[in-house]
């Protein structure tokens, strides 16, 4: 068990890699009543093309990682939610582009719940009948998202940005793609991606670290694990240009929704502190450009081009960065044009060094505040861990970035040639608005 101190936030993180390859992290929180445990595999919607050692290339149906997540909860002796509930634990799971997480929180019976979590995720049980039944449920989940304009806007924009990368497919798939999923295809994915060496367990809350590690080891010692599969992910080459610069869909909305996206491929793969520094630089610059305190935001607000739901986001991955900005607007074309003009004006104006320091403070405050939220810490830590970065180093990274370098980075990122726009409009042009 290794203990790592993070003095600035007054926290200690304990970690250990078990014999079967599983990495375990524990962050005890003094004074807290609740414990939050996540068990995550590095398998998401992006991992749709792979082979095992010399075997054939396998291209899986869209939405299989998410389908597998749903079906993990089935056990021969019934539903896992029931077992958690009996121990007062509230359980959940989610699937993203690059990971699938299973989690519970509880204020009692921690070890019983820990066993339930480890046991159900390490024991797949797929039958034709339970797979068929799940399709009806996921079909309704898909239908729900199809009617959700913000969800559609987000995924349609990604589809407009990405040409080859599976970033351009919806995490949950479509009715047609999930129809192709069989118990065998689920088992294949499970054996390829749910090996302990591809997984990470993170626990935070009212925990005694040594006892917790002991309990996990005891659980794992009861099971046998196959050798680590020689997993090769097949990743297509993504070009610099975007797939489609303008995309529009029709849905019942009160006003158009508009989102602008930028894609930037990294020259070299970024990991560790380098990845964090880039993220910090871009986060601060995006705040300076688009936060409610910015000239751009207040100008767009006064010009009645945006509402209070205008927002921006930046995502830095190992191999690429993408960002988005937008919200509800009466006039998407004008909004896009104005954003480009105002961003240019910002780049031409005098250096906003004071603003930079202010935004750094804001970012540091947000980081410290996150320690009040164990669920956020668990999710963030694992996301960064799978990118070979340490989430807790973010604070140090914020302290190293400066204005001039950050300005250069954001200027490069917001390159007109690599952007796409997605718009959701009302299908029926009732009020004849232009």
Partner 1 sequence: MENSLFQVAMFGKLRVHVLATEQFKTTTLSLYAGVPLREQTVTPVSLIAHIMRRVNARYPRPELFKQKLEELYGAIFAVDVDKRGTYQVVDVTMDVIADEYVANDSEKSLLSEALRFLMDCIAYPAVDKHGFIAQYVTEEKRTIEQKLLAVKNDKAQYAAKRCIETICESHPYRFSAQGILEQLEHWDGANLADFYHRWLEEAIFDLFVVGNTDMEQVLHLLANVESGMFKATEKKMNDYKIATPFSSSKQEKNVEERMDVGQGKLNVGLTTSISSVHADYPIFQVYNGVLGGFAHSKLFTTVREKHSLAYYASSRPVDGVLGMYMIQAGIDVSKKDQALKIIREQLEEMRAGNISELELQQTKALLINSYRALADSPYELVSYGFRQRFTGSNKLPVQWLDIIKHVTVADIRRVAQTVAIDTIYFLRDGGESNDSQTV
Closer of 164 and 182 to partner 1 (Cβ): 182
Task: Count the Cβ atoms, other than its own, within 10 Å of residue 26.
Answer: 25
How many C-beta atoms surround the C-beta of residue 20 within 10 A? 19
Q: How many residues at the interface with partner 1, by CB under 8 A? A: 74
User: CA triplet 22, 167, 272: central angle to 5 degrees?
Assistant: 45
Query: What are the catalytic residues?
Result: 69
What's the min distance (Å) between Cβ of 328 and partner 1? 7
In terms of CB distance, is 52 or 253 closer to partner 1? 253
Selected range binding partner 1 among 129-137, 155-163, 192-200, 333-341, rule: CB under 8 A: 129-137
Q: Which residue lies nearer to partner 1 by CB, 207 or 231?
A: 207
Q: β-strands 100-106, 90-95: how paired? A: antiparallel
Decide the pairing of beta strands 199-205 and 23-28: parallel
Contact 98, 114 (CB under 8 A): no
Tokens 């080459």 belong to residue: 237
* Six token digits for residue 356: 């930079």
Q: Which is nearer to partner 1, 147 or 408 (CB)?
A: 147
Taking the least distance from each CB to partner 1, the nearer of 5 and 388 is 5
Q: Give the integer Cα–Cα distance in Å for 1 and 306.
A: 51
Contacting partner 1 within 167-226 (CB under 8 A)? 205
Q: How far is the CB of 427 from partner 1 (least distance, A)?
A: 6
Q: How big is the CA angle at 112 (ends 106 and 118), to the nearest 5 degrees?
A: 95
- Residue 328 CA to residue 334 CA, distance in Å, equals 13
- Hey, which residues between 287 and 316 contact partner 1 (CB under 8 A)? 291-295, 298, 301-302, 304, 307-308
- Which of the residues 311 through 330 are near partner 1 (CB under 8 A)? 328
CB atoms within 10 A of CB 388: 12
Q: Return the residues of window 65-104 that contact partner 1 according to CB under 8 A.
A: 79, 81-82, 85-91
Chain center to CA of 303: 33
Site for partner 1 in 22-61 (CB under 8 A): 30-34
**For partner 1, which residue of 218, 353, 427, 433 counts as binding (CB under 8 A)?**
427
- Across the strands, what pairs with 199? 41
Out of 24, 65, 138, 339, point to the residue binding partner 1 (CB under 8 A): 138
Residue number with CB closer to partner 1 (141 or 188): 141
> Of 127, 148, 180, 415, which one interacts with partner 1 (CB under 8 A)?
148
Stretch that binds partner 1, among 157-165, 230-238, 247-255, 310-318 (CB under 8 A): 247-255
- How many helices and strands in the chain, by DSSP H and E? 15, 17
Q: How far is CA 57 from CA 28, 49, 399, in A?
A: 43, 7, 45
By CB under 8 A, name the one of 228, 361, 411, 416 that touches partner 1: 361
Please choose, out of 116-124, 160-168, 258-266, 356-364, the segment that lies near partner 1 by the rule CB under 8 A.
Answer: 356-364
Measured from the CB of residue 354, what is the shortest distance to partner 1 in angstroms?
Answer: 9
């Amino acid at each position: 068990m290794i203990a790592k101190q993070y003095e600035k936030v007054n926290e200690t993180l304990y970690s250990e890699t078990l014999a079967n390859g599983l990495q375990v992290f524990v962050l005890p929180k003094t004074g807290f009543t609740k414990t939050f445990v996540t068990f995550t595999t590095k398998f998401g919607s992006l991992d749709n093309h792979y082979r095992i050692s010399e075997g054939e290339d396998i291209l899986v149906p869209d939405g299989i990682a998410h389908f597998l997540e749903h079906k993990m909860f089935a056990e021969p002796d019934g539903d896992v939610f029931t077992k958690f509930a009996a121990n007062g634990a509230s359980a959940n799971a989610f699937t993203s582009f690059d990971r699938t997480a299973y989690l519970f929180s509880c204020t009692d019976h921690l070890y019983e719940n820990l066993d339930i979590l480890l046991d159900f995720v390490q024991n797949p049980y797929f039958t034709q009948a339970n797979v068929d039944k799940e399709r009806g449920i996921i079909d309704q989940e898909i239908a729900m998202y199809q009617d959700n304009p913000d969800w559609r806007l987000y995924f349609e924009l990604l589809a407009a940005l990405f040409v080859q990368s599976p970033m351009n497919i919806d995490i949950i798939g479509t009715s047609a793609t999930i129809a192709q999923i069989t118990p065998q295809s689920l088992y294949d994915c499970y054996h390829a991606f749910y090996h302990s060496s591809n997984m990470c367990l993170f626990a935070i809350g009212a925990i005694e670290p040594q006892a917790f590690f002991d309990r996990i080891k005891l659980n794992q010692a009861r099971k046998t694990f196959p050798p680590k599969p020689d997993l090769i992910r097949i990743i297509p080459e993504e070009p610099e240009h975007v797939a489609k610069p303008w995309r529009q869909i029709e849905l019942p909305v009160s006003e158009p929704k508009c989102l602008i996206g930028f894609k930037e491929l990294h020259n070299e793969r970024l990991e560790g502190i380098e990845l964090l520094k880039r993220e910090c630089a871009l986060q601060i610059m995006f705040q300076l450009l688009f936060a409610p305190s910015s000239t751009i935001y207040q100008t767009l607000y006064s010009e009645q081009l945006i509402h209070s739901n205008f927002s921006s986001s930046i995502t830095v991955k190992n191999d690429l960065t993408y960002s988005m900005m937008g919200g509800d607007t009466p006039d998407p074309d004008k909004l896009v044009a104005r954003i480009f003009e105002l961003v240019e004006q910002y780049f031409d104006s005098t250096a906003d060094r004071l603003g930079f320091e202010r935004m750094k403070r804001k970012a540091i405050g947000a980081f410290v505040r996150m320690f009040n939220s164990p669920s956020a810490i668990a999710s963030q830590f694992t996301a960064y861990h799978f990118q070979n970065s340490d989430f807790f180093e973010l604070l140090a990274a914020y302290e190293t970035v400066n204005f001039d370098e950050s300005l250069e980075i954001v200027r490069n990122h917001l390159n007109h040639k690599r952007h796409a726009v997605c718009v959701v409009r009302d299908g029926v042009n009732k009020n004849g608005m232009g």
